[in-house]
Structure 1
């Protein structure tokens, strides 16, 4: 896909937002509206799902393709000589890490919120296998089966074994699948994005421009542990945000305020959201 899909709101320095899931920005309006009071918020829609493409065929996705697309969006919207802030959550957080590693030239600061980059963990292969099982469960039994397994995996405070019991099969038709961003994520995004391993050496050299974040409600859970581990491995900043994995949707205003504060700390000499 060569077309670029994005929306722009507000004024001030450019803040690129990369949603999670299949990249559909649903539920982010509250957060982006608040951020638009301080930033030019550019919300990237990598598959164009909010721009008339929901229901059209989708191929298996690659982190690098989303990252390259995000870079092209910045090329389209950034004035010459200026740099952008970037926020990505979940799958979007993986993209934000890749964007910083591969295209850092015009990035001011990046916040990656709960990226499922579980392969960096000492037991990462086991967690990657669990995500692969979620995708397999979706194909075999449908959304409910996959969703219950993923929820259990993400919220467990202890390592868990793959349950052998499969709930009642409720597979979607292809038409239903193409109309569901969650189903598209399970079919085409989750496996390649959770298999992706960030370039830790490259990111460590850029760690002054990176904050890895997790939700306060996610403490003890897999993606909070992953975010903490990444920050420590990179000798970089770690920050907690309101809510859990979906904090941007569930607590949009305090989440936006915490994000703005992280990107442009109050009281730091030379830090301003107007240049």
Structure 2
């Protein structure tokens, strides 16, 4: 695989770090976007697209991209503007984007504002509660996870987050009355280390999950939009959200292999079905009518 060229870009409130892997035959730019996951999580997926120039980046406040404004939380709109500036700096015209999880939320916010920069967006399981029939309960749970993190630290908050993301079906209104999951049951630390800079639980939890899509702007966008959900994710929070966004845009969701992290090939000790996932992504990207 072509060696990655690492670059930095100063933007308002942060210094972004991104990587460019030139394609062996040139090829269109494919921008792989996550949040709060940084570029590390796309190592395996990028290896399946050596015919393209692959760009990955660390979102502000995650990995190598350091905040300079001291802000404790980040919005999808702020991330979208970061993505805009990276793409414009590349100078390659409209790019194809595969975005997963919070990255998919941020990429949708980008297309709402700057559709001319994105040829095709594949938004994989964007987790916003706003499109769910149980939105009030889901938003309350997300707010509680953030509050738990601020009060008790990473272990208790992450245990609640994992319980939320693995739950099948709607969030009950009495979720808060259920016993809180134990961090130890998930192999998480019980003791609070005092830090409060976690990019998931602290910086992005509330902003990402409360994102309200502008469906009129998305439907009018020149960007080809594909909303993807995992085959094994049916009924889970992010997959239900993806289906809700697809319905709002007026498209059928594309079903990709595996689960929420289906593209992972051992990153963070997690495995999906990366080869099958990459084939599905390539099929979608190639099926553009160009």
> What TM-score does the superposition give when structure 2 sets the normalisation length?
0.80
How far off is 1:257 after superposition?
2.0
Let me know the Cα RMSD of the aligned residues: 2.4
More helix by share: 1
Give the counterpart of 2:275 among 233, 253, 261: 253
Q: Structure 1 residue 16: deviation in Å?
A: 1.3
- The residue aligned with 1:51 is 64
In the alignment, which residue of structure 1 is the partner of 2:193?
172
Deviation at 1:65, TM superposition (A): 1.3
Q: Which runs of 4+ in 1 moved over 6 A?
A: none
The aligned counterpart of 2:20 is: 8
Post-superposition shift, 1:91?
A: 0.7
Separation in 1 of the partners of 2:228 and 2:164?
Answer: 19
Residue 62 of structure 1: aligned partner = 75
Deviations 1:122-153 (A, max 9, x none): 32122111111111222223322222222222
Q: 2:199 and 2:16 mapped to 1: Cα distance?
A: 19
Alignment partner of 1:162 is 2:176? yes
How far apart are 1:208 and its partner, in Å?
6.3
CA contact (8 A) 2:32 2:42 kept: no
CA–CA distance in 1 between the matches of 2:248 and 2:289?
A: 28
Q: Which moved more, 1:129-138 or 1:92-101?
A: 129-138
User: Which whole-Å CA distance do the structure 1 matches of 2:253 and 2:14 have between them?
Assistant: 35
**Pair 127,39 (structure 1): closer, same or farther in 2 beyond 3 Å:** same
Secondary structure of the structure 2 residue equivalent to 1:43 = strand
How far apart are 1:52 and its partner, in Å?
Answer: 7.0
1:33 aligns with 2:63: no
CA 95–228 in structure 1, closer or farther in 2 if over 3 Å, else same: same
In the alignment, the residues of structure 2 paired with residue 112 and residue 207 of structure 1 have an alpha-carbon distance, to the nearest angstrom, of 15
| Distance apart, 1:51 and its partner CA | 3.0
Contact 1:207/1:236, CA 8 A, preserved across alignment: no
Q: Which residue of 2 aligns with 1:187?
A: 202
SS at 1:224 equivalent: helix
Structure 1 residue 84: deviation in Å? 0.6
Q: How far apart, CA to CA, are the structure 1 residues paired with 2:102 and 2:213?
A: 13
Aligned residues: 257
**Structure possessing the higher relative contact order (Cα contacts under 8 Å, 6 or more residues apart):** 1
Mind listing any 5+ residue stretches in structure 1 that lack a counterpart? 271-275
Per the alignment, residue 273 of structure 1 pairs with: none
The normalised TM-score by structure 1 is: 0.84
C-alpha displacement of 1:269? 4.9
Match of 1:128 in 2: 139
Distance (whole Å) between structure 1 residues aligned to residue 231 and residue 246 of structure 2:
16
SS at match of 2:207: helix
1:109 to 116, 120, 130: 120
5+ residue gaps, structure 2: 1-12, 184-189, 265-270
What is the aligned counterpart of 1:72 among 85, 89, 103? 85
Deviations 1:165-221 (A, max 9, x none): 4447522223xx54xxxx331011111111111111111223861011111110122
1:136 to 1:2, Cα distance in 2 relative to 1, 3 A: closer
